[in-house]
């Protein structure tokens, strides 16, 4: 087993108004790295489609020293860091052009039987592969608390482009919704230095979702719920830092 490495150059359409990499794009880069490495190991999208399986993200934990900026080239490394009976841990390191680590991340994935929407054992359904027992970010994905007092409510409609190949809202969209629920004036002077995400239920095309936000100083907690039936789709905690 070798770590998977790739370089990305940050393009104009991947940046926000301050020329920083969008959080949505960061999440997409992590997903792209996970998919391309899994495919090289024979465990990726093509394998899953053939077998009727799907990889579903259950958690992300990301720490950001600074966000990449326009035209910067970043070096991204990923590897499978641990394996559980019903889940796999994949970690990431992002370095700048000078080799400095600017982002570390850990993610947890579950393999499901797509038709039954139920988790299945990795060892019973995947080809043999090894892990690299090294962590980019030491985390056990602690339980995130639901907001106790609601400082802000925002409603978004699930767009066609929010839906991915697994026919539900893509993981990258939830941090986007959460960060959009924070006041724009606050966003102008702060960036998310730490993001924790727990994915709970599938979001569906055309339904409305409500983001409930509690803000305490430089920490915001978010619960994302479907308005139609109240089911909780995701829960997030973001620690902000002044620019």
Q: Looking at the structure, tell me whether residues 14 and 99 fall in a common domain.
A: yes
Task: Please write down the long-range contacts of 128-134, taking CB distance under 8 Å and 24 or more positions apart.
Answer: 129/1, 129/41, 129/43, 129/80, 130/1, 131/1, 131/79, 131/80, 131/81, 131/82, 131/83, 131/89, 132/1, 132/3, 132/79, 132/80, 132/81, 133/81, 133/82, 134/79, 134/81, 134/91
Residue written as tokens 């559980």? 84
Q: Looking at the structure, tell me whether residues 118 and 171 fall in a common domain.
A: no
Q: Looking at the structure, tell me whether residues 30 and 103 fall in a common domain.
A: yes
Is there a domain that residue 77 lies in? yes
Q: Looking at the structure, tell me whether residues 115 and 159 fall in a common domain.
A: no
CATH of the domain at 53: 3.10.129.10
**The pLDDT of residue 122:** 82
* Domain limits for position 76: 4-125
Q: Looking at the structure, tell me whether residues 34 and 98 fall in a common domain.
A: yes
Q: Looking at the structure, tell me whether residues 111 and 15 fall in a common domain.
A: yes
Q: Looking at the structure, tell me whether residues 118 and 224 fall in a common domain.
A: no
Query: 71, 106, 125: which is the final residue of a domain?
Result: 125
Domains of the chain: total:
2
Q: Looking at the structure, tell me whether residues 87 and 186 fall in a common domain.
A: no
**The pLDDT of residue 142:** 93
**The pLDDT of residue 55:** 87
Decide: 187 and 238 in contact? Cβ < 8 Å: no
- Residue 179 CA to residue 190 CA, distance in Å, equals 11
Mean pLDDT by 10 residues, the chain (243 residues): 96 96 97 94 86 90 98 98 88 98 96 87 82 95 94 97 94 97 93 98 96 97 97 98 94
Q: Looking at the structure, tell me whether residues 116 and 24 fall in a common domain.
A: yes
Q: Looking at the structure, tell me whether residues 108 and 157 fall in a common domain.
A: no
- Residue 139 CA to residue 90 CA, distance in Å, equals 12
Is there a domain that residue 13 lies in? yes
Is there a domain that residue 97 lies in? yes
Is there a domain that residue 53 lies in? yes
**H helical segments located in the chain:** 23-40, 45-51, 122-125, 173-180, 184-189
Is there a domain that residue 136 lies in? no
Q: Mention every residue, 6+ apart, whose C-beta is less than 8 A from residue 93.
A: 76, 77, 78, 101, 103, 104, 105, 136
Q: Mention every residue, 6+ apart, whose C-beta is less than 8 A from residue 48.
A: 54, 55, 114
Q: Looking at the structure, tell me whether residues 87 and 162 fall in a common domain.
A: no
Is there a domain that residue 144 lies in? no
**The pLDDT of residue 130:** 87
- Residue 225 CA to residue 221 CA, distance in Å, equals 13
Is there a domain that residue 139 lies in? no
Q: Looking at the structure, tell me whether residues 72 and 176 fall in a common domain.
A: no
**The pLDDT of residue 186:** 93
Q: Is the pTM of this model over 0.85?
A: yes
71 secondary structure, DSSP code: T
Rounded to 5 degrees, φ, ψ at 181 are -85, -5
Is there a domain that residue 163 lies in? yes
Tell me the pairing of strands 4-9 and 118-119.
unpaired
Q: In the chain, how long is the greatest CA-to-CA distance?
A: 51
């Amino acid at each position: 087993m070798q770590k998977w490495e790739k370089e990305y150059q940050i393009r104009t359409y991947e940046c926000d108004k301050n020329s920083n990499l969008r959080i949505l794009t960061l999440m997409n880069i992590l997903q792209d790295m996970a998919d391309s490495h899994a495919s090289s190991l024979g465990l990726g999208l093509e394998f899953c489609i053939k077998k009727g399986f799907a990889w579903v993200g259950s958690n992300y934990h990301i720490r950001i020293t600074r966000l990449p900026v326009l035209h910067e080239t970043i070096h991204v490394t990923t590897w499978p860091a641990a394996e559980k009976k019903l889940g796999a841990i994949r970690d990431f390191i992002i370095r700048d052009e000078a080799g400095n680590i600017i982002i570390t991340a850990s993610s947890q994935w579950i393999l499901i039987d797509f038709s039954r929407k139920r988790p299945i054992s990795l060892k019973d359904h995947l080809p043999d592969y090894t892990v690299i027992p090294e962590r980019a970010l030491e985390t056990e994905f602690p339980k995130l608390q639901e907001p106790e007092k609601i400082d802000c409510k925002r409603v978004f409609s699930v767009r066609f482009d929010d839906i991915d190949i697994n026919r539900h809202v893509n993981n990258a969209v939830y941090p986007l919704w959460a960060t959009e629920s924070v006041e724009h004036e606050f966003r102008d002077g702060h960036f998310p230095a730490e993001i924790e995400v727990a994915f709970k239920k599938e979001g569906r095309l055309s339904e409305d979702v409500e983001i409930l936000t509690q803000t305490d100083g430089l920490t915001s907690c978010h619960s994302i719920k479907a308005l139609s039936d109240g089911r909780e789709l995701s829960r997030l905690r973001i620690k902000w830092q002044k620019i």
